[in-house]
């Protein structure tokens, strides 16, 4: 048993000081509360904000989605239309076309960002001179505003003065002014994928890099002792251990790109025709240009359910991978 210290030699604890400073009446009140009650006191503001900012608007949107409400006609009679908005949306060929466009954008940006991001991370993970500088340079695109990126890529894609067409001409001999990356000819959907990949691959790279650096060296050393080839080490150590990180990156990018708006709106405005009309751009036009509030509420709910459903399935898969 350690010898008891004289009371005056014990350093005063800041919590004790604060407790002593608490007025006796308040202290009595607090002492009377259970741990659960105190926990509720701390959590209540957050719950209140969550209800006010997220849950209430969601419930209100669900309610509006069953009406013909138009926010620009405050005096008009609001009629209950049942599931009419939902059936109209789900049977509208144009909306399915926009969904397809969004899926095309989503899938290809993720595939390219994962492949390029992982490759970059794998290369950067090797120690070499200038490693840190190179990492910093690679992450510059994701530090820019999407609006800025959208604007300057319109110049890069400009057939007469843009550098992209000249690079293509240099390598293929196709005249620079003979094609337009953002115009007709089917290149526009790929052009927006290129810009998003350029901007967000560094994000995937950083997450992969974190995953790669979390793998302890002794695992590779053990594999070396067992005479496992580099190729086998890659597939049996590197990939499985980075996979949870990679899946997390895919989740983030998937959700972000599902709601992509600013960059694509600036690059193409949804055109040519509707070739790059993503659901988020279409939804914005329905809600805030056409002011079909009820209809666009239903549209938003359908998109929300889609993202929420897919994300839930994905998170379950992610958890299974983590448990392995």
Chain residues binding other proteins by CB under 8 A are 68, 71-75, 94, 157-160, 162, 177-180, 182-184, 265, 268-275, 277, 285, 288-292
Q: Give the count of alpha carbons within 13 A of 271, CB side only.
A: 9
Which candidate, 67, 99, 109, 153, places its Cα nearest to that of 306?
99
In the complex, minimum distance from the CB of residue 200 to other proteins, in angstroms, rounded to a whole number: 23
- Our CB check for other proteins shows the closer of 29 and 73 to be 73
Q: Measured between alpha carbons, how far is 303 from 258 in angstroms, rounded to an integer?
A: 9
Residue number with CB closer to other proteins (122 or 179): 179
Q: What CA–CA distance (Å, rounded) separates 269 from 183?
A: 11
Select 82 or 240, whichever has its Cβ closest to other proteins: 82
Q: How far is the CB of 294 from other proteins (least distance, A)?
A: 10
Least separation in angstroms between CB 195 and other proteins: 15
Instruction: State the Cα–Cα distance between residues 94 and 270, nearest whole angstrom.
Output: 13
Which residue, 162 or 211, has its beta carbon nearer to other proteins? 162
Residue 75 beta carbon to other proteins: minimum distance, rounded to whole angstroms: 7
d(CA 189, CA 100): 11
Q: How far is the CB of 202 from other proteins (least distance, A)?
A: 28
Which is closer to other proteins, CB of 85 or CB of 113?
A: 85
| Nearest distance, CB of residue 274 and other proteins, angstroms | 6
When the beta carbons of 162 and 202 are compared against other proteins, the nearer one is 162
Backbone angles phi, psi at 14, to 5 degrees: -60, -35
Q: In whole angstroms, what is the distance from residue 295 CA to residue 69 CA?
A: 8
In three state form, how does the secondary structure of 194-212 look?
HHHHHHHHHHHHHHHHHHH
The total of other beta-carbon atoms located within 10 Å of residue 122's CB is 16
12: DSSP letter: P
């Amino acid at each position: 048993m350690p010898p008891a210290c004289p009371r005056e030699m014990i350093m005063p604890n800041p919590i004790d000081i604060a407790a002593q400073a608490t007025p006796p009446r308040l202290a009595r009140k607090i002492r009377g509360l259970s741990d659960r009650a105190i926990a509720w006191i701390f959590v209540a503001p957050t719950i209140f904000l969550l209800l006010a900012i997220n849950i209430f608007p969601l419930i209100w949107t669900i309610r509006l989605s069953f009406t013909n409400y138009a926010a620009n006609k405050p005096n008009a009679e609001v009629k209950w239309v049942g599931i009419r908005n939902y059936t109209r949306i789900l049977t509208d060929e144009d909306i399915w076309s926009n969904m397809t466009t969004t899926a095309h954008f989503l899938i290809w940006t993720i595939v390219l960002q994962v492949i390029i991001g992982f490759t970059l991370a794998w290369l950067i993970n090797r120690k070499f001179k200038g490693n840190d500088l190179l990492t910093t340079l690679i992450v510059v695109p994701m530090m820019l505003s999407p609006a800025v990126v959208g604007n300057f890529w319109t110049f890069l894609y400009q057939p007469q003065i843009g550098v992209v067409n000249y690079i293509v001409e240099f390598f293929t001999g196709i005249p620079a002014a003979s094609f337009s990356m953002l115009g007709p000819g089917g290149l526009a959907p790929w052009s927006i994928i290129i810009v998003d990949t350029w901007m967000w691959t560094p994000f995937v790279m950083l997450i992969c890099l974190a995953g790669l650096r979390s793998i302890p060296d002794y695992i590779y050393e053990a594999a070396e002792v067992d005479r496992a080839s580099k190729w086998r080490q890659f597939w049996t150590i590197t990939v499985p251990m980075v996979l949870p990180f990679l899946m997390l990156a895919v989740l983030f990018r998937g959700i972000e790109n599902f709601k992509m708006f600013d960059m694509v709106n600036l690059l193409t405005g949804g055109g040519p025709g509707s070739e790059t009309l993503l659901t988020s751009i279409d939804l914005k036009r329905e809600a805030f240009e056409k002011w079909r509030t009820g209809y666009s509420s239903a549209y938003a709910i359908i998109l929300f359910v889609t993202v929420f459903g897919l994300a839930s399935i994905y998170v379950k898969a992610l958890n299974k991978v983590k448990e392995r």
